[in-house]
Structure 1
């Protein structure tokens, strides 16, 4: 039987990328979002060359290029010496075809929404999923129930609802909960014109110290806005829920004072100015999901952070978009798609088997990425002077060691649409 309806839970970056990918295949879908309107949560995200390649394939990049700031490299500085000790370059157009981009998350989300609406599809907002039930007699659809009492049926359910995924906790693997890494990000935006001291970086900087790191980056095409983040080791509040973190973040004076105290020995004047002048700071705990989790069950699959949330490493947003692209690629090759597409093949797989196949293809890369991200974040916790200097010394060697891997992944040869399925 042809795949006649897909339900996507979550209208974030992963969910919208998935929806546009399905539209390209001619697969009918409905996308549900728990919030009452598009989310504005989040600061500025880094998009790697591969992420931009996929957004270009989704016809989203032309609009996004008018909003985001191109990143030729991420420069790493010591706050104490003010010297650059390492650099991750994206400036290889002949091989990559794209550079990187720093863009406000809301601008990326709106660009995806605009593309989806141009295709004639819309998000159903204010829909909180309550349960999923599959026909134990081997039926070809699953039932999704929402808290308002409405019900939908689908041959495939895709959970793109983030690290706190209801699809995962209500059905796929209820025991798999987010884990706080011990590090939190306090981020905000400010006008570039507010900074009177010389700005020491070209596009994006990571400024390291014993007590965490400060990230500063242009994030709009006109360079008018600056994105500022302090990554710090912070004890979790007594109330460990998201509300508990919001309460702690609401004390703006204490949060700003903490940042200034942690980095007071830094000798880069513009960073001190940013910490003093940045607008409202949002405090965000960095959580993760333990690896080797369950990503699919029956006719339900998890994509993006719902499946493999890891500490941010500059590629997390790209991984979510890549999930959508790869899953659509698997569908195009191994699923019973609508006959009008002429895509039904003799080696088509039943949906549960197709989900298993996708997971087998995707898991090795994501597990390796998790280990790499987890290692980097563990070394980012507060440490002594010797540990800091060792990190500063070894980072250039680490980037050199991984350069070949990243060059392959960022180039055409790393495109998941070339994956043999």
Structure 2
């Protein structure tokens, strides 16, 4: 019989807030361990935002542990290389093979459609695991019945008792706020992205093409023979006028945002194929958003877990996208947390489950604390150097640091979260 924390009244054993990558990964990992969970998702249906993301070696190790890695390989091209260009000169700053061996084995990277992966994860879960239109608005531990359960107040006025609460509810996490984690900080940068379709085939090599400098970082990457994903991050972030209103960049229409991106690129040495991809794309998703991150120093001493509550994914380590590790580390979180929690409570008696679950969350927090802080710090530093238009920083980056930055890009994915 599937193991689960014993339930009383209307309480759920394990409640996961958020049906994003981290939340579904935790739920599926627990399911593979024979442990039931419930996922509360605030939106009325499966999330479709985000277009695509880089899925590096560490993410595929996590997906393989969850049993869905080959599904993603079958639908997305393996990227063979990376070409970094200077936006100032148009010259190649660095080229590298993305299939080289790391310390833990060969590297692998693909551009994976977010909605395709979310669907694959959810399809492996028992029906009814994900409850949509279930937004948590507040948490308290009063009247928990003496078992330490947290009382979850939902937006529809209902309440739910959770004996274990896992916050995977994103950068504005209610659970992270309850734990007292530091509020995410503004990076001073903004990002937008898009999807371009070429029905007759785009003809691009299976490589990442990236431009750095001139105050922005732009890239283009194919995920199939007919589809291309592009991104554009820039500095500074939207400023405010004397009345406290934004300068309007983030709030522009899709057409205006497209023109903004094209204007910035045309003022630099960006290749025509990138411009064409932007021109033919339909930006129907979030047009632009300021990039935020949680202070890595704060995570070294923060309460990632407290009693029977913890966080994972962006609720734990919101980061800038410069290493393309946000989604990858969220998947790592999912496998490690499911393993720690599953190993602790499977086979445990009802009297032991509470203490063993809390010990498991502490163990998970200890494993993820340094990794999370490291990814945030390095990503922020890499982004600062790559986007800078300062003449000295640009010279050092293009002539001296390109190799270091490239090695850093491969260093972070060289991580194994282990099996379930």
TM-score, structure 1 length as denominator? 0.84
Q: 1: CA distance between counterparts of 2:354 and 2:367?
A: 16
Distance 1:18 1:209 in 2: 38
* Aligned with 2:317 (options 299, 308, 313): 308
What SS does structure 1 have at the residue aligned with 2:316?
helix
Q: Distance in 2 between matches of 1:87 and 1:213?
A: 16
Q: Shift of the alpha carbon at 1:114?
A: 1.9
Residue deviations 1:58-109, cap 9 Å, x none?
A: 1212322232221223321223444432245431479635621101211221
In the other structure, the counterpart of 2:230 is 228
Does 2:44 correspond to 1:40?
A: no
Q: Is the 8 A contact 1:32 1:123 kept in 2?
A: yes
- What does 1:288-327 correspond to in 2, within 5 Å? 288-291=293-296, 292=298, 293-312=302-321, 313-327=323-337
Alignment of 1:396 onto 2:405: no
Q: Post-superposition shift, 1:137?
A: 8.6
Distance 2:353 2:149 in 1: 21
Gaps of 5+ in 1: none
Distance 1:33 1:100 in 2: 29
CA distances 1:205-228 after superposition (whole Å, capped 9, x unpaired): 2112313121101023xx201111
Equivalent position SS for 1:279: coil
Q: Is the 8 A contact 2:217 2:233 kept in 1?
A: yes
Residue 357 of structure 1 pairs with residue 359 of structure 2? no
Hey, what does 1:72 align to over in structure 2?
80
CA distance in 1, matches of 2:348, 2:305: 26
In 2, Cα distance between equivalents of 1:43 and 1:328? 26
Cα deviation for residue 17 of structure 1 reads 0.4
Residue 291 (structure 2) pairs with residue 286 (structure 1): yes
Which SS does the other structure have where 2:70 is aligned? helix
Q: How does 1:108-257 map to 2 (within 5 A)?
A: 108-116=117-125, 119-134=126-141, 139-169=147-177, 171-173=178-180, 176-192=182-198, 199=204, 202-220=206-224, 223-236=225-238, 238=240, 248-257=250-259
Larger mean CA deviation between 14-23 and 43-52 belongs to: 43-52
Distance 2:131 2:406 in 1: 46
Moved more, 386-395 or 369-378: 386-395
Give the equivalent residue in structure 1 for 2:385: 379
| Separation in 1, partners of 2:82, 2:249 | 33
| Partners of 2:119 and 2:353 in 1: CA distance | 38
When residues 259 and 403 of structure 1 are mapped into structure 2, their CA distance, relative to the original with a 3 A threshold, is closer
Determine the C-alpha separation between the residues in 2 that align with 1:397 and 1:63: 33
Alignment of 1:313-352 (within 5 A): 313-333=323-343, 335-338=344-347, 349-352=355-358
Change (3 A) 1:246 1:138: farther
Cα distance in structure 2, aligned partners of 1:122 and 1:246: 40
CA distance in 2, matches of 1:80, 1:192: 29
Is 1:55 paired with 2:74?
A: no
User: Unaligned 5+ residue runs, structure 2?
Assistant: 7-12
After alignment, is 87-96 or 315-324 more displaced? 87-96
**TM-score of the superposition, structure 2-length normalised?**
0.84
Closer/same/farther in 2, CA of residues 267 and 149 from structure 1, 3 Å limit: closer
Runs of 4+ in 1 over 6 A off after TM superposition: 243-247
Q: What are the residue-to-residue correspondences of 1:265-284 with 2, within 5 Å?
A: 265-266=268-269, 268-280=271-283, 282-284=287-289
Q: Distance in 2 between matches of 1:6 and 1:348?
A: 11
CA 1:247 to 1:261, structure 2 compared with 1: closer, same or farther past 3 Å?
closer
- Whether the 8 Å contact between 1:246 and 1:283 is mirrored in structure 2 is no
Structure 2 distance, partners of 1:238, 1:402, is: 35
Task: Name the CA distance, whole Å, in 2 between partners of 1:217 and 1:401.
Answer: 19
TM-superposed deviation, 1:337: 2.3
Deviations 1:18-57 (A, max 9, x none): 1000101111211110001111111210011121121122
CA spacing shift, 1:391–1:195, aligned 2, 3 Å:
farther
Match of 2:35 in 1: 27
Q: Provide the rounded CA distance (Å) in 2 between the counterparts of 1:253 and 1:417.
A: 45
1:304 CA drift (Å): 0.8
- For residue 46 of structure 2, give the secondary structure of its aligned residue in structure 1: coil
Partner of residue 25, structure 2: 17
Identify the residue that residue 415 of structure 1 maps to in structure 2: 416
CA distance in structure 1 between the aligned counterparts of 2:116 and 2:55, rounded to whole angstroms: 12
Matched position secondary structure for 1:187: strand
**Contact 2:17 2:167 survives alignment (8 Å):** yes
